[in-house]
Chain A
Amino acid sequence: MAELLNIILNIVRNALRMLSLGRPAIDNSLNINIKCSTGNTLSVGLDPEWDIGEVKNIIAPKLGANPKEVKIIFAGKELEDSIVIKDCDLGEQSTLHAVKLSKSFVKPSSGQLSSVIAEAISDEDEIAVLQETIDRAGSQFYVHCPVCNDLRLGKLRVRCSKCKSGAITVDTDPKSWSDVLKSNKISGHCEQDDCPDGAFAWAEFYFKCTEHISQGENDEAVPLYLLRNNFKNIPCLACTEIKHVVFVFPCKEAHVTCLDCFRTFAVLRLRERQFVLDDAIGYTIACPAGCPDSFIDECHHFKLLTNEQYELYQRFATEECVLHAGGVLCPQPGCGEGIIVDSSCDKVACSNGCGYVFCRKCLQGYHLGECNSLDNASLSDDIHHITDPARAAQARWDEATNVAIRVTTKPCPRCRTATERSGGCMHMICTRCSFHWCWVCQIEWSRDCMGTHWFG
């Protein structure tokens, strides 16, 4: 009885499926956008078990073409009729490109077309080989996904560098990171009807996140190309453990640390304010083994830090930029607004921030005449009401802090940052402006200081 019912149900299902061809009701259907070279986009549900030939049957009528005249392009490759959808690494809401072969194109290149197909087959084999090595070696792409706001596995996609259309077939597979990251390395054939450059195109590679459902063609992820799978089993430079995923520094020796050690290292250098502001790259660090020319040139790698740490990174980077450009930072506690100043005028107003008006040289409240010792500025504040001095003194949190700061610190002779010496020698290096100064003389560090009172 139950069997009979099942058979009837199946018949009904099949009948329904036949009726609603083009929009089949499939349980585990994959929603795919198919972008046509004519410009319109179709949203279709596809059965992962189907092959490309069946997809062409659905698409062809919408393009007003014979299924044989349709080319399906995905990730820089023309897909063969026999390829099954589930083997294509298509995610939910992925975009396929359908191109109608114009007669003028088919005819003169009919000889070529077979070679294109032959090429496609050999490419397919190559992909299979590549896929196998990838599976074996575990080589994957790591990306920072702005949607998930986290480290994710990424997938490589390609588009025409001119018209940004994905309807492009590449002539060769990228072999290295420079093929992928640098422009005009891999040539291809753009199938978009209205591409200003015509058929010849340079391929532009980009990445998508594998974890979340694609939010369209502009949903990109940033490649963290210094992250690699450690199939060579190289031990971490710092902790000497062999981890699965490693950070490969861009130095000649390609030094390797594990991700935990990279984070520890980056946070440490950040808190010590030892990042470097490079004109071309930005605020960054070099290889912990001290190699030359080893700056991390994709700052999204610092997204491996926590959100708070990354915010600190951004703040320090901004401050460094302001100081680098000859600006000052508002000294008011909790403000720190960066201000680009007119070097001929000592009066600086924090007009976009807290409104504090201060002296450019000593970073104390603005005053007329020469800068004095630290005390003057705070004393010059007018006191408008009369209080019990003893009680007021006890209740002044800020004053206690000020006293503590005044007693335990000395200002950096250049940027006036209050500096505490917790131990070690008298050679101070300002963590804010990198000035080398002497704790005893409070001037620039010199040979004399080194000879006479280096250690007190």
Chain B
Amino acid sequence: MANIASQRIKREFKEVIRSEEVARCSIRVELLDDNYSELKGEIAGPPDTPYEGGKFQLEIKVPETYPFNPPKVKFLTKVWHPNISSVTGAICLDILKDQWAAAMTLRTVLLSLQALMASPEPDDPQDAVVARQYKEFPEIFVSTAEHWTSTYAGGPRKKEEYSKMIEKLMGIGCDMDQALVALSSCNWDMNKAIEQIFG
């Protein structure tokens, strides 16, 4: 790994460790290898959002050309959000693409992701299905996102009704993830979900 990149990450790592956000448990980073090229990040779901109470794991890969090119970041924790792929965890955030600048850091990236969770941009979607639901059925979107948060990120709000529907689908041979995805993307219409899975 290039010297500039690892040196920068070393410093940024310390910056995050010492930051007040860490003190408030709102962000965290962890090294995965000795040469600072792979890290694991964690952000807390922002308050007053469907993600509140959840902890979201991130994969952070630092390219050789860092800090002149952005780190590659994706969600390891499944999340229901218009700008985050519900399948791959890929993120649509301008600063992780062409708006990246060498003066940004791991800390600013993590804080920007938290901000993105708090204010989605459905007109620039990563997940078209989620974005449509966000716009057309905002209430379903909120309860679905809460349900995902409690299922995958340890969030507190789980809808009994949704759990029962998932169990029903699992009873006819689906696995849990498959059932949750199908029901979520069909706005919790059981028949449509069955059709999507088996049709």
A interface residues (Cβ-Cβ under 8 A, vs B): 237-241, 255, 260-261, 264-265, 268-269, 288-290, 425, 450-452, 454-455
Q: Is the Cβ of B88 less than 8 Å from the Cβ of A255?
A: no
- With A and B bound together, what is the CA distance between A296 and B91 in angstroms? 33
Using A261-B4, A290-B103, A455-B85 as known contacts, say yes or no to A238 and B125 having CB atoms under 8 A apart: no
- Which 4 interchain pairs have the tightest Cβ spacing? A290-B101, A288-B102, A451-B128, A289-B103
Which listed residue, B4, B85, B87, touches A260 by the CB 8 Å rule?
A: B4
Chain B neighbourhood of A260, CB < 8 A: 4
Using A238-B67, A238-B68, A455-B90 as known contacts, say yes or no to A265 and B126 having CB atoms under 8 A apart: no
Chain B neighbourhood of A452, CB < 8 A: 128
Q: Is the Cβ of A289 less than 8 Å from the Cβ of B126?
A: no
Q: Is the Cβ of B101 less than 8 Å from the Cβ of A238?
A: no
Which listed residue, A240, A269, A290, A450, touches B8 by the CB 8 Å rule?
A: A240
- With A and B bound together, what is the CA distance between A99 and B68 in angstroms? 55
Chain A neighbourhood of B100, CB < 8 A: 290
Chain A neighbourhood of B128, CB < 8 A: 450-452
B163 at the interface (CB under 8 A from A): no
- Closest A residue by C-beta to B128: A451
Which listed residue, A264, A288, A455, touches B101 by the CB 8 Å rule?
A: A288
- Closest B residue by C-beta to A289: B103
- With A and B bound together, what is the CA distance between A452 and B131 in angstroms? 12
- With A and B bound together, what is the CA distance between A238 and B9 in angstroms? 10
B19 at the interface (CB under 8 A from A): no
Chain B neighbourhood of A425, CB < 8 A: 90
Shortest A307–chain B CB gap in Å is 22
Chain B neighbourhood of A240, CB < 8 A: 7-8, 11
Chain B neighbourhood of A237, CB < 8 A: 102-103
Q: Is the Cβ of A238 less than 8 Å from the Cβ of B88?
A: no
Supplied contacts A264-B4, A268-B69, A454-B126, 20 more A-B pairs, CB within 8 Å:
A237-B102, A238-B4, A238-B67, A238-B68, A240-B7, A255-B103, A264-B65, A264-B68, A265-B68, A288-B67, A288-B68, A288-B102, A289-B101, A290-B101, A290-B102, A290-B103, A450-B125, A450-B128, A455-B85, A455-B87
Chain A neighbourhood of B191, CB < 8 A: none
- With A and B bound together, what is the CA distance between A17 and B8 in angstroms? 64
Chain A neighbourhood of B88, CB < 8 A: 455
Shortest A100–chain B CB gap in Å is 58
Q: Can you name 19 A-B pairs with beta carbons within 8 Å?
A: A238-B68, A238-B102, A239-B4, A240-B8, A240-B11, A255-B103, A264-B2, A264-B65, A265-B102, A288-B67, A289-B102, A289-B103, A290-B102, A451-B125, A451-B128, A454-B92, A455-B85, A455-B87, A455-B90
Q: Is the Cβ of A241 less than 8 Å from the Cβ of B125?
A: no
Using A237-B103, A455-B88 as known contacts, say yes or no to A268 and B131 having CB atoms under 8 A apart: no
Chain B neighbourhood of A289, CB < 8 A: 101-103
Chain B neighbourhood of A265, CB < 8 A: 68, 102
Interface string of B43-63 (1 = CB under 8 A from A): 000000000000000000000
- Closest A residue by C-beta to B88: A455
Which listed residue, A268, A450, A451, A454, touches B68 by the CB 8 Å rule?
A: A268
B interface residues (Cβ-Cβ under 8 A, vs A): 2-4, 7-8, 11, 65, 67-69, 85, 87-88, 90, 92, 99-103, 124-126, 128, 131
Q: Is the Cβ of B7 less than 8 Å from the Cβ of A241?
A: yes
Most buried by A among B4, B92, B101: B4
Chain B neighbourhood of A241, CB < 8 A: 7
- With A and B bound together, what is the CA distance between A451 and B134 in angstroms? 14
Chain B neighbourhood of A239, CB < 8 A: 3-4, 7-8
Chain A neighbourhood of B7, CB < 8 A: 239-241
- Closest B residue by C-beta to A448: B128
Shortest B108–chain A CB gap in Å is 12
- Closest A residue by C-beta to B101: A290
Chain A neighbourhood of B69, CB < 8 A: 268
- With A and B bound together, what is the CA distance between A452 and B8 in angstroms? 37
Using A238-B4, A240-B7, A260-B4 as known contacts, say yes or no to A268 and B126 having CB atoms under 8 A apart: no
Shortest A430–chain B CB gap in Å is 14
- With A and B bound together, what is the CA distance between A106 and B2 in angstroms? 67
Chain A neighbourhood of B3, CB < 8 A: 239
Chain A neighbourhood of B4, CB < 8 A: 238-239, 260-261, 264
Q: Is the Cβ of A269 less than 8 Å from the Cβ of B68?
A: yes
- With A and B bound together, what is the CA distance between A452 and B126 in angstroms? 9
- With A and B bound together, what is the CA distance between A241 and B124 in angstroms? 38
Shortest B12–chain A CB gap in Å is 9
Chain A neighbourhood of B90, CB < 8 A: 425, 454-455
Shortest A445–chain B CB gap in Å is 12
- With A and B bound together, what is the CA distance between A455 and B128 in angstroms? 11
- Closest A residue by C-beta to B126: A454
Shortest A178–chain B CB gap in Å is 26
- With A and B bound together, what is the CA distance between A288 and B65 in angstroms? 12
Chain B neighbourhood of A261, CB < 8 A: 4
Chain A neighbourhood of B85, CB < 8 A: 455
- With A and B bound together, what is the CA distance between A264 and B67 in angstroms? 10
Shortest B187–chain A CB gap in Å is 17
- Closest B residue by C-beta to A288: B102
Shortest B157–chain A CB gap in Å is 28
Q: Is the Cβ of A290 less than 8 Å from the Cβ of B126?
A: no
- Closest A residue by C-beta to B6: A239
Shortest B131–chain A CB gap in Å is 7
Q: Is the Cβ of B131 less than 8 Å from the Cβ of A451?
A: yes
- Closest B residue by C-beta to A427: B97
- With A and B bound together, what is the CA distance between A425 and B92 in angstroms? 11
Chain B neighbourhood of A264, CB < 8 A: 2, 4, 65, 68
Shortest A425–chain B CB gap in Å is 7
- With A and B bound together, what is the CA distance between A404 and B199 in angstroms? 39
- Closest A residue by C-beta to B132: A451
- Closest A residue by C-beta to B102: A288
- Closest A residue by C-beta to B72: A424
